[in-house]
Every structure is written in C-alpha cells, then in structure tokens.
Structure 1
Amino acid sequence: MTDLQVLIVDDDFHVGRLHAGYVDSVPGFSALAPVGTAEQALRTVHGHEPDLMLLDVYLPDALGLDLLRKVDVDTIMLTAAADAPSVRKALRRGALGYLIKPFTAEALARKLRAYARYRRLLAEQPAVDQDTVDRALHALHPAEAAVAARTRSATEAAVLEALASGLQRSAAEVAQSVGVSRATAQRYLSALADDGAVEIHLRYGTTGRPEHRYGRAG
C-alpha cells in the first residue's frame, strides 16, 4: 500500500525536521521535505500533490490561515497559536484538526492514525450514506477519553486479544482464533478500527483485490 504523503510547513527548519521524523515513524505515512514559507508550500502542493499538509499559522511571508484558502489539500494545523479566534478561523476555512505546540510524537501519531481511518472509511465505496459520513467524522475526531474508559464486551476483548502478538491477521484468521463467524469478526474489527484500537493494512497479492490485515494500533 502506498504511504500517504505529508507536507510539513513550518518556518523553523529544525522543528520541521523533527515533525518529519514524527510522521515517518507512523506506519502508512511518509513526510516530504519540509518547507518554511507559504510560497514554497504552494509550489510543493502543486508539484507533488501531497495527501495531507501539516501547517503552522505563523510563516514569514503569510499567515497559514490565509494559505488555507489557496490550497485544495487536507490540512491539520500544527501551531503555537493558542487563541480561540485562530482555532475558529482554521476550522472555518477547512482545517481537519488543530494541534497546539509543543506536542509529543504520540499526539501527532494519534492525529495521523485518525486521519488514515477517515480516509479509509470514505474510500471504501464510491457513494456513501449518512452512516458512513458519521463514522468518518467520528474517526477523524474520536472521543478518545470516552473510548478508553468504556468497558469492552467479552467478544470485542477476545477479538482484540487475538491481535496481541503484534502480527497482522485477516478477519478470517481472527474469526478462527476467537471462535466466531468471519462476519462477526469483521464487524468487531471495523468497530475497533473506528475507535483507534486497531489499524487496517492492505496486503497486495499477484491478482485480485488487496486483502485487509488487522493489527494492534501502535
């Protein structure tokens, strides 16, 4: 499966490199060379068409909030701008997320994994219904505290435990391990993926459609 390409736009070269390292450490993502100005960002977006842009508010030649209106690319704000008007403006202009500096590598990884789930849900079928849209938005902005606090059912816990070895397994393999039907395992795996507990990977064979493989979220 081709990695999602991420463009980091930050006026501090060292911070940009640090964040690129964070991105590269998340399976399924790959960072392009970071850029430090709005002009460079525009050229890179037009030339490389990244899947996602991680954008600072304060750039030397423009505000990142103004750049948002000029590009057609999914964007998450990574910025020290912690004022409410900047947050509202960023979301109003289309930002999918807002992460305030300083943050940990894991905080960014959670945002990226949520974005990957959002992309996957909307890519599974050419036309979507309201339930799919709702699930995609939930995946993009999961209520992480509530998810962590809730009690899992016995079957759900068993499905998650079947992935404890760290290996990627198919829904059929999980079903056999747990002792449920493949459809039941698939349903629980999809729910766990939406919650962020499980990651979905694609394994391509020589022919046919790629196989979905499931593993514990890192």
Structure 2
Amino acid sequence: MLGTTAVGKSSLISQFMTSEYLHAYDTSIDDEYGEKSVSVLLDGEESELIFIDHPCAEMSPTSCLATYTSSPHAYCVVYSTSDRQSFKVAEQCLQALWKADAIRTKAVILVANKTDLVRSRVVTAQDGKSMATSYDCKFIETSVGINHNVDELLVGILTQIRLKQQQQQKTKGSSREGEQLGGGGFPKLRGTRTSASLKVKGLLSKVWARDSKSKSCENLHVL
C-alpha cells in the first residue's frame, strides 16, 4: 500500500478484513512491519493476500520501494480526493513504479479514496482516470466511510495479480517457441506494399489500444 499519510491505507486494509470474500477469516498481524494477511476465496480458488502498510511519511516513494526485501505482486497507490497534495504524491509513486518497470510486470491500481467527502473534493474522477491511463495502470474510487467499492478493490487486486501472472507465463512460453523456431522465427516480408500495410495496421492498433486503455482502466477484471 503506497501513498502519503491520512489517505486511508490502514482503513482500507481493516475494511478488507470484513469482506464477504474472506475464506475462514484467516488474518494475522505483524506489528513490526504492519503486515496483515487474509485468505480470499475467488472463483473457487483460495489465495492468501499479505498487505504491507509501510510507514513512508518521511520517505520518498523510491526509497519506500527500495525497502521491500521481496518484490510484491501488486501495488495499491492511494490518495484522498479531498487532498491535492496526496494526488501529487500518488503520481510520484507511479513514476517510481514506472522507472522500476513494475507497472509492466506487476498489478498496479490507483485508488481514489474518501469519495464520500463530496463537498471538500478537489481531485475529480477524470483527474484520476487520466493519470491511471497515462501510467497504464488501473483506477478505482473508494470510500471506507460508506464501504463503497472496498470489496471490489479487494477482488480487483487478486484478479489483477492472477491476470499478470498468466501474462508472464504466456510471455515466457512464446519466447521459448521463438527460440525453437530459431532466429526471429518469421519469414522476411517481400515487397514494400506488405510492410507498409503492416505499419499502418500497427499504428492503428496502437491508437485502438490507447482508446481501449482509457475505457478499461476502471475495469479491474481485464488487463
């Protein structure tokens, strides 16, 4: 769990402990590192999630990431919709994750918390979605106060972890196939017309991918 103080990271974790997806209500707390674990049953498969609520109030996001002894499977970057500075810190966290190449390989979700504080809101939903799209991560708005989207976030974290792991396995499998084919594994293209049309298709696919990312950044059940 990343983000500045008073954005609701600990409150979110505490609320996770009451989720309807809990299996056998198995929780444990490590006071020294602020770790809490919970067993979640999703799609007939049980997984243990360990949440690390790291005290990083006086540390830079980069330093905070460097303190983890093992690489987490997911990162929740939390900010408060009523605190513009916390939104800036969230972007610093995303920048640190991007530089570490974590967004490409790990589940990363930008969480806009405290949406129930409507009158004091200073960060719009569009602001959050735009930043999530820019950093190619997921986005969700939550409120611990009224239990809004908390279960959805918990399920989304686990779903994104599983999807990312499946993607990594597919990538490894395709790289092995490429090695077996030898070299590039594909025949050379003949004629400029074919290569030109492929370039156009490639350009269009990038545009379509960008559009689909902006639309699907709130869908935590797809990559």
TM-score of the pair, normalised by structure 1? 0.47
TM-score of the pair, normalised by structure 2? 0.46
Larger RCO (CA under 8 A, 6+ residues apart) = 2
